[in-house]
Amino acid sequence: MRILVTGAAGFIGRYLVPELEQHGHDVVAVDLADGDITLPGVAERLVGDAEPDAVLHMAAAVSRVLCEDDRLNTIAVNAFGTATVAEATAKAGARLIYTSTSEVYEDHGLTWCDETTPLKVSHNLY
């Protein structure tokens, strides 16, 4: 399977790309250096050039503290950037695999979280 991985230079991406390749997948790894997905046409170009069967979307603004300090960029990358990747993926007829972050569980200290851990929604956005 040909897989386009966005956010490939991130913490998870830099380990996942070689793992996917080791399992026989043809991987196209992209990150911010390859184009800013918040800019018009960039996601469409990246997806179009890769011609993937699937897009594994991990590009994101991360770190609770950094995201709180730059909320506009966080929204641009995480919401608008994801929308542009989703639209480009659909237009190309590929599958979209979207990842999230442990931030949706908020701070659990040293306690482990997994997919069964209840999400904690904070209503204090400002």
State how far the Cα of 112 lies from the Cα of 4, in Å rounded to an integer: 30
| Average pLDDT of the chain to the nearest whole number | 88
* DSSP-derived secondary structure for 41-107: THHHHHHHHH--SEEEE------HHHHHHTHHHHHIIIIIIHHHHHHHHHHHT-EEEE---GGGG--
Write down the pLDDT at residue 118.
79
Is-contact 2 28, C-beta < 8 A?
yes
**Span 96-126, pLDDT tens digits:** 999 876 667 676 677 777 778 877 766 554 4
- C-alpha angle 36-10-45 in degrees, rounded to nearest 5: 30
Write down the pLDDT at residue 126.
46
40 pLDDT band, cuts 50/70/90, is very high
Write down the pLDDT at residue 123.
55
State how far the Cα of 83 lies from the Cα of 88, in Å rounded to an integer: 9
What angle in degrees, to the nearest 10, is found between the helix axes of 42-50 and 82-92?
Answer: 40
**Span 11-28, pLDDT tens digits:** 889 999 999 999 999 999
Write down the pLDDT at residue 11.
86
Query: What is this structure's pTM?
Result: 0.82
State how far the Cα of 54 lies from the Cα of 93, in Å rounded to an integer: 9
